[in-house]
Chains A and B, each alone.
Chain A
Amino acid sequence: MSEVMTPAPKPSRRKLLLFAPLGVAAAAGVGFWAMLRGLQDGSFNPRGVPSALLGKPPPEFTLPALESSGLPALSSADFRGLPGPVVVNFWASWCAPCIIEHPHLMALQRQGVALWGVNYKDRPREAQAFLTRHGNPFARLGVDEPGRVSIDWGVYGVPETYILDRGGIIRWRFAGPLTPELMSQDVLPLLARLRA
């Protein structure tokens, strides 16, 4: 029967073919490794939803202050005529990841970054207790008890962090707790660039 079969491909090519599955497995392995690493340091989020507001100004809104905190309230008018970039953080006292990321917010405040907060669907007393216990990093704080303004921002969970340039345009958004990697790779370099 061998005389009717097609001539076999050159042996060198056939041998290379033997390694093809190995190559595919190696590529898949590298891909998986990159995904897992990204999952760990927060740079890859398979459930992440890109913000629809990137490159746009924030929505028109007026939020009341958290009275016990003595901090000024927050409204869209505050984003006009900014001296530099601003970080806006959506948080709640009932949100465990907010506690985890809190030290990063405190660090931003210590570095003199303008950090404004929106307290999402919270009780004033518990929000105040959170700030008393973990420290207050915010220069302004709006209270969004109904959660409507947060929906206007495209927030779908807390914590969420936005960075706006001095023109009041949203340049960056992250849904989830800030991590050391995010701070050193995204937040701080972007703030430095926006300040320049």
Chain B
Amino acid sequence: MSFFDALRRRARAWLRRAAGALGHASGGAAPAAMRPDSRWAGPLLLAFALLCVSPAFAQIGDTTYRLRDPVQEQRAREIGKELRCLVCQNQSIEDSDASLARDLRRIVREQVERGASNEQVMAFVHERYGDFVLLRPPFKWSTLLLWATPALALLGGLFAIWRARRVAAPAGIGPLELTEAERQRLAALQGDPKA
């Protein structure tokens, strides 16, 4: 971390000096002064690239317990993405910075390294923390309402529409023809001389 901080500090220093050089050059009248000193082009580019890159480094997250085997590490990450961090609750243990999440990440990796299947690792955590730890809840009686809610909402909506239409249908728009009295009133309003 401190290595990148140092790099970024240096990049910032370059930028500052480059800006200074630019300001100095534009002060001169010669047309060549419009072009920034080419000595700074390389460092400037590097600084820009570094500024773009640093958030990507942050996204990799905690690398303390990464497995050496990329296939195993990938599997550990897939498992971790399915497990809720019980401290933050809206993040998976792969995304969370809580110390419990760190411990669980480590446990997942230890077990993957030992050759446990995804199911075995998930079962280990599930045994200790229950359904809540699974970001994808299992389908069973106690979670039936949870899973059925979208279907129930859709059915409810359809029922409401069906009812509303059934009640509204007899009212309709009414007869399309005007009555004699209405026709006379309309003509009077329009000031038709034939009326």
Q: Which residues of A contact B (CB under 8 A)?
A: 1, 4-6, 47, 49-53, 59, 121, 147-148, 151-154, 156-157
Q: Taking the nearest CB of chain A, how far is it from the CB of B142, in angstroms?
A: 10
Known contacts A1-B174, A52-B128, A52-B130; is-contact A47 B89 (Cβ 8 Å) = yes
Cβ contact within 8 Å between A152 and B86: no
Contact B172 A4 (CB under 8 A): yes
**A51-B130 contact, Cβ under 8 Å, with A4-B174, A6-B170:** yes
Indicate whether B127 reaches chain A with its CB closer than 8 angstroms: yes
Asked if B48 lies at the interface with its beta carbon under 8 angstroms from chain A, I say no
17 A–B contacts from the bound complex (CB under 8 Å): A4-B171, A4-B172, A4-B175, A47-B89, A49-B132, A49-B133, A52-B126, A52-B128, A52-B129, A53-B128, A121-B99, A147-B103, A148-B103, A151-B100, A152-B128, A154-B129, A156-B129
**Whole-angstrom CA separation of A53 from B129 in the bound complex:** 8
Q: How far is the CA of A187 from the CA of B130 in the complex (A)?
A: 23
Distance between Cα atoms of A156 and B86 in the complex (Å): 6
Q: Which of B87, B100, B126, B167 has the most CB of A within 10 A?
A: B100
Knowing A6-B167, A47-B89, the reply to whether A151 touches B128 (Cβ < 8 A) is: yes
Closest residue of chain B to A53 (Cβ to Cβ) is: B128
Contact A153 B128 (CB under 8 A): yes
A50 touches B86 (CB 8 A): no
- Distance (Å) between the CB of A92 and the closest chain B CB? 11
For residue A156, which residue of chain B has the nearest CB? B86
Question: Shortest beta-carbon distance, A148 to chain B, in Å?
Answer: 7
| A135 to B: closest C-beta gap in Å | 27
* Residues of chain B from 155 to 186 with CB closer than 8 A to chain A in the complex: 167, 170-172, 174-175
What CA separation (Å) do A156 and B125 show in the bound complex?
12
Interface size on B, residues (CB 8 A): 21
Q: How far is the CB of A86 from chain B (nearest CB, A)?
A: 20
Question: Chain B's nearest CB lies how many Å from the CB of A123?
Answer: 15
Contact B100 A157 (CB under 8 A): yes
Contacts of A153 in B (CB 8 A): 128
CA distance in complex: A151, B107 (Å):
10
Q: Please, which residues of chain B bring their CB within 8 A of the CB of A152?
A: 128
Once the chains are docked, how many angstroms separate the CA of A147 from the CA of B100?
A: 9
Chain A residues, Cβ within 8 Å of B15: none
User: With A49-B129, A52-B129, A154-B128 given, can you name 16 additional A-B contacts, CB distance below 8 Å?
Assistant: A4-B174, A47-B89, A49-B130, A49-B133, A50-B130, A50-B132, A52-B126, A121-B99, A147-B99, A147-B100, A151-B103, A152-B128, A154-B130, A156-B87, A156-B129, A157-B87
Closest B residue to A1 by beta carbon equals B174
B107: which A residues are within 8 A, CB to CB? 148, 151
In the bound complex, do residue B130 and residue A156 qualify as a contact, i.e. CB atoms below 8 Å apart? no
Q: Give the interface centre of A47, A151, A152 by most chain B CB atoms within 10 Å.
A: A151
Q: Is B22 an interface residue (CB 8 A)?
A: no
Query: Does residue B135 face the partner (Cβ distance < 8 Å to A)?
Result: no
Q: For the complex, what is the distance from the CA of A157 to the CA of B89, rounded to whole Å?
A: 12
CA distance A148 to B127 in the complex (A): 14
Q: Enumerate chain A residues within 8 angstroms of B87, measured Cβ to Cβ.
A: 156-157
A138 to chain B, nearest CB (A): 23
* Any A CB within 8 A of the CB of B104: yes
- Contact partners of B129 in chain A: CB under 8 A: 49, 52, 154, 156
- Using CB atoms, name the residue of chain B closest to A175: B86
Among A1, A5, A52, A156, contact of B127 (Cβ-Cβ < 8 Å) = A52
